[in-house]
Amino acid sequence: MHEEKNLEDILKVLPLSGDSRKLIQALSNETSIRILQLLDSGNMSASELAERLKLRLSTLQYHLDALLDTDLIRVADFRWSQKGRKIKVYVRVEKMIVLVPGKGAKGREAALTLLRDCLLLP
């Protein structure tokens, strides 16, 4: 059966603001880009990502937090370590990103309406 998606499920529309600056910073960071590229190949835990990227876990966690804060990744699942610890498993969020000039919700809503009409979504 076809799952109907809301426009907000596939699209992130941000006015130029603090949130959009965080997003731009995350996307301009080489380590964050490498994390996103690795997550394209499948879901991974922080320790798996750190090992593949040859980074200390604390350094990687800084980048994961930035990516989580900007909704570019999310926690998809949990695993249990051999020591019984709960381990987060990360996945890349599949969304188009649109930055809208202006600060208000008016520009965001206009962009969403235009995109909804173009994509023929309800």
- CATH number of the domain at 92, please: 1.10.10.10
pLDDT at 120 over 70: no
- Domain assignment of residue 65, yes or no: yes
- Domain assignment of residue 1, yes or no: no
Q: Which residue has the higher pLDDT, 99 or 43?
A: 43
- Domain assignment of residue 2, yes or no: no
Q: Please report which confidence band the pLDDT of residue 19 belongs to, taking 50, 70 and 90 as the band edges.
A: confident
Domain region containing 13 = 7-119
Amino acid at position 45, single letter: S
- Domain assignment of residue 77, yes or no: yes
Percent of the chain with pLDDT over 70: 79
Tally of domains in the chain: 1
Q: Which residue has the higher pLDDT, 4 or 5?
A: 5
**How confident is the model over 38-58, as pLDDT tens digits?**
999 999 999 999 999 999 999
Q: In whole angstroms, how far apart are CA 98 and each of 3, 25, 32, 105?
A: 23, 15, 19, 14
Q: What is the pLDDT of residue 3?
A: 46
